[in-house]
Structures are given as C-alpha cells and as structure tokens.
C-alpha cells in the first residue's frame, strides 16, 4: 500500500497568500478544511505555507506527503449519523523557522502574501521582553511575527498597502487584539520608530475569533482499518466532528480577502464575539458542568449515555432551554438552533466523552460556566433556578468522594479538596460548602431562598438516592 502523495491524488498548484502558524490537528481539521471549501467555490485562490511554531513538530511529515492528508468528519447532523472523508489539498509549503529562518523571512518579501492564521495554543500569544534578538529565530510567536513584519516593512519601503492581516484561533478572549498589543509593546522595546508602529496600527488588520469543533485527531486505535478503507497509507490522517463554528470579529478588509461567510457553512463575521462566547460557555460548557455530578452519581459515565437517559437527558435539556437560553442576549431562534446542535454533539456515537474528564476542576468551572446563568435568571424571574440548586446539591455530594461504595477520583485545587475533607462530616456541610467565597466568588447562602433549595435537594438525594431524587425532580413532584 502506497503512502498518500500527489502521485495518488492530483494536486493543483496555487499561489500562496496565507501563512499558517501551527500544523496541529485542529488547524488541519478546521481552518484548512474551510480554506479548501473557499478554494473549491472560487471565493479565494490560495494555498497555505505552514510555519512550525516550535522546534519540534510535524512539518516534515506533512512535506513527505506533499501536504496532502485525509480528514474524517463524523457525528450527528439533523438527527442523521454521518461519517465521511475527503483529502485536504491546500498545504503547499512547509517551514521550520528554527532551521530555515532566512526562508521564513523571505515570505515577508512575497508580493501576494495577505494573511496570517494562527493557533499557537493559549500560551502562544505572550509577551517575552527578553525575546528581542531578531538576528536569529525568535522563540515566541509574537516575536517571530514582528520579525516578519519589520522585514516586510523595510523591503517594501514602508508601503501602506503591504500590511498583513491576522486571524487568530488561540483559545483566549480577544486573541487577535492581544496579539496586536504584544506586537506594539515589542516594537517599543525594540526601539522601532513611530512610522513602523503606525504601519502596524493602520496597515495591518486583526480579527479575533471564536472557534469550535472537537478534533480527536489521529485515529491510532483504528488506523489499520482506516488505511484499508482509504486504500493508501496516510500518517497525517485526522478525525473531527461534523459540527463546526467559526465566529470572526468583523474587519472589512479581512472580510474581503477571506470571505468565509459566503460558503454556506457555520461561519460568520460579527461586530462582537462576546455573546457568541457567552452562548458557547453557558450552553455547551455550562451544561457539561451542571450535568456531571448529577449524572455521575446517577451511575452514568459518559456524556452520550447521560443524554440518552430519560431523566438525566430531560434534566439537561430543562437547564439549557428553560434556564440558560432566556438569559442570553441573542436571537432566540438562533440560540435554540445552537442548543439543538449541542445535544446532537453530545450524542455523537463516535466520541466517548467521559464525565470524569469534564469533572476536572469542577468548582472553578461552576463559577465561570454556571453561576452567571444563576444570577441572570434571578434578574429575569426574581427567583433562583431550582435546576441549578439541584445540581449544586449534587456537586456537594460529589465532592464528598463516594459513588455508592466506590471512591470518586476527585481532581481539583488541593486547597479546595483539603477544605472539603475537613468539613464533609459536619452537620452544616452544605452551608459551609456554599458559603466558601474562594469556591464561588460569593457567599451563595446569602441568596434569598437559594440555600434552602440546595439543602432540601441535598437531603432528598441522600435519603432517596440520586435515581429516585432526580426522577421526582424531573417529573415535578417537588420542584
């Protein structure tokens, strides 16, 4: 069986207008897939040069396959189980700047270069005040970018039309704005003149984004079956879920050169990413966090099994549709459509999502993902959500560390666990759990009536067991 190369798949040649910092699974299963779709529809005409952000990486592996790799997309869409694959053919050049620094800087002199796309992890966009020697390869991503920009600025004699655009996919808030801030600070530290700083400010464009697609990556356990299905060896094959979302902060220049909103996929330019981030955190992540202690104590181990269960599934949907959606300032039909897609993702038969993997740092996650909904729900209704109260009662029991006779492998802040261990046998355990401001940022016992809800559900779960207590709750026997 041959390895996938252009001998097997005829690859067209296109001019390279995009530099991509990062060669990992997510970029290849998400960004490069989008780029292929735009090329196929004639919206852009560009291939990609991949820049390896770290000294070690896989640009050589990609180069050996002429940049070709297979993407499998699988999941549930419109209640239909889907599994398909295609060859992604947009990667055409590969640079390890640690060994090819001059060739990397040569891209700054490329007339047609327009766009830099990055995903250098959350730690990538950082200010390193000591990374200022551009005579050799800088260590940090921003310093590499600044070295490239200064080279371009000088080569084109300060031409205001030769600025570059940046689309950042790192999982931090305001990722592109953060990159711009770091670039400007580094420019000051380097002593660059105001004309160059103005060129960054006025000739370069920056779009922050929100990205969403689960990418399990290389199907190691099924690789032989995968090769047999494909009929070739592909050491860069990558697996992702069907669901995709790309929300980009609107910039008219970037919108013109990268018209991703025109391809009929789940991608859009918006004036503010904030409500879309809120939507994802409160619905997708918030439901995960709310559901984990309830479902795990119920005796379930995975997200899919949770949603398939009559009572856990109904409980999760009650939270999303009745509690969360009314608190978010977006179109309600759009929110409902997003929520529907979330539950389809939860039911993905190709992904085994363990509840205990989500349970990591549940207390901190609760503060960020669920409590904002609790407070906003109160503003709308003048009362506190009993759905959330039931989950917090379950969380308090979960952190006592037992599911029946089995120990729960708790994984959280050591000080949090030490505190809980010191109070878990107290008669006022629930009060001490809810009133800990280090946990929740506020004393939840001071919320009018809320502590009484939680204590009541805690006692019922202890007395009846989670299965009976949850069934009663969902069926409205004592809500």
CA distance 461 to 473: 10
* Contact status, residue 95 vs residue 52, Cβ threshold 8 Å: yes
What is the tens place of the pLDDT at every residue in 23-34? 999 999 999 999
Q: pTM for the complete prediction?
A: 0.88
Q: How high is the mean pLDDT of the chain?
A: 96
What is the Cβ-side half-sphere exposure of residue 347, based on CA atoms within 13 angstroms? 19
CA distance 454 to 388: 9
Sheet of 238-241, strand order? 80-88, 69-77, 238-241
To which residue do tokens 């050589």 refer?
A: 60
What is the tens place of the pLDDT at every residue in 83-132? 999 999 999 999 999 999 999 999 999 999 999 999 998 789 999 999 99
To which residue do tokens 């990397």 refer?
A: 104
To which residue do tokens 């039931």 refer?
A: 390
* Antiparallel, parallel or unpaired: β 205-207 and 165-168: parallel
User: Shortest CA distance to 68 belongs to which of 82, 50, 54, 44?
Assistant: 50
Let me know the angle formed at the C-alpha of 212 by 210 and 216, rounded to the nearest 5 degrees.
Answer: 145
What is the tens place of the pLDDT at every residue in 133-165? 999 999 999 999 999 999 999 999 999 999 999
Helix 310-317 with 286-298: angle, nearest 10 deg:
160
Length reported for the chain: 479
A 10 A CB-CB count for 51 gives 27
What is the tens place of the pLDDT at every residue in 180-232? 999 999 999 999 999 999 999 999 999 999 999 999 899 988 899 999 999 99
What residues contact residue 73 under an 8 Å CB cut-off, 6+ apart? 29, 82, 83, 84, 85, 239, 240, 241, 242
> Does 398 score more than 70 pLDDT?
yes
Stretch 363-385: mean pLDDT, rounded? 96
Stretch 61-70: mean pLDDT, rounded? 97
pLDDT at 450: 97
pLDDT band per the 50, 70, 90 thresholds, residue 479: low
DSSP character for 354? B
Sheet of 267-270, strand order? 209-212, 245-249, 267-270
A 10 A CB-CB count for 130 gives 9
User: What is the C-alpha R_g of the chain?
Assistant: 25
What residues contact residue 357 under an 8 Å CB cut-off, 6+ apart? none
User: Shortest CA distance to 280 belongs to which of 390, 173, 352, 125?
Assistant: 173
Instruction: Identify the helix (H) or strand (E) that includes residue 375.
Output: helix 371-381
CA distance 38 to 43: 5
CA distance 242 to 417: 38
* Antiparallel, parallel or unpaired: β 267-270 and 245-249: parallel
């Amino acid at each position: 069986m041959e390895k996938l190369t252009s001998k097997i798949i005829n690859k067209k040649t296109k001019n390279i207008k995009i530099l991509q910092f990062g060669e990992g699974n997510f970029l290849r299963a998400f960004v490069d897939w989008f780029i292929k779709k735009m090329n196929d529809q004639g919206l852009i005409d560009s291939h990609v040069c991949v820049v390896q952000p770290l000294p070690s990486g896989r640009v050589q592996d990609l180069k050996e396959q002429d940049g070709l790799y297979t993407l499998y997309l699988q999941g549930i869409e419109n209640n239909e189980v889907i599994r398909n694959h295609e060859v992604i053919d947009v990667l055409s050049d590969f640079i390890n700047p640690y060994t090819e620094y001059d060739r990397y800087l040569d891209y700054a002199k490329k007339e047609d270069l327009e766009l830099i796309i990055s995903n250098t992890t959350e730690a990538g966009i950082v200010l390193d005040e000591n990374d200022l020697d551009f005579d050799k390869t800088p260590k940090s991503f921003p310093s590499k970018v600044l070295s490239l920009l200064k080279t371009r600025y000088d080569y084109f004699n300060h031409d205001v039309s030769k600025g570059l655009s940046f689309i950042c996919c790192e999982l931090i808030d305001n990722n592109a704005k953060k990159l711009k801030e770091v670039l400007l600070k580094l420019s000051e530290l380097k002593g660059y003149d105001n004309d160059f700083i103005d060129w960054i400010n006025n000739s370069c464009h920056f779009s922050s984004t929100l990205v969403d697609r689960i990418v399990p990556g290389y199907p190691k356990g099924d690789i032989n079956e995968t090769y047999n299905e494909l009929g070739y060896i592909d050491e860069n094959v990558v697996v992702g879920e069907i669901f995709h979302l790309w929300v980009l902060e609107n910039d008219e220049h970037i919108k013109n050169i990268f018209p991703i909103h025109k391809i009929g996929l789940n991608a859009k330019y918006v004036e503010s990413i904030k409500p879309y981030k809120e939507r994802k955190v409160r619905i997708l992540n918030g439901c995960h966090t709310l559901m984990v202690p309830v479902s795990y104590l119920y005796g379930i181990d995975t997200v899919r099994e949770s949603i398939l269960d009559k009572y856990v599934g109904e409980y999760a949907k009650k939270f999303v549709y009745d509690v969360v959606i009314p608190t978010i300032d977006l179109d309600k039909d759009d929110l409902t459509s997003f929520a529907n897609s979330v539950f389809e993702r939860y039911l993905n038969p190709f992904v085994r999502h363990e509840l205990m993997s989500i349970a990591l740092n549940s207390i901190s996650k609760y503060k960020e993902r669920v409590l904002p909904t609790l407070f906003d729900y109160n503003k709308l209704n003048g009362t506190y959500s009993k759905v959330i109260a039931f989950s917090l009662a379950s969380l308090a029991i979960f952190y006592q560390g037992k599911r029946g006779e089995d120990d729960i492998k708790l994984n959280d802040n050591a000080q949090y666990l030490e505190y809980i261990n010191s109070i878990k046998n107290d008669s006022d355990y629930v009060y001490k759990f809810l009133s800990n401001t280090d946990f929740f940022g506020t004393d939840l016992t001071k919320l009018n009536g809320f502590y009484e809800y939680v204590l009541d559900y805690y006692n019922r779960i202890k007395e009846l067991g989670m299965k009976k207590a949850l069934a009663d709750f969902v069926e409205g026997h004592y809500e």
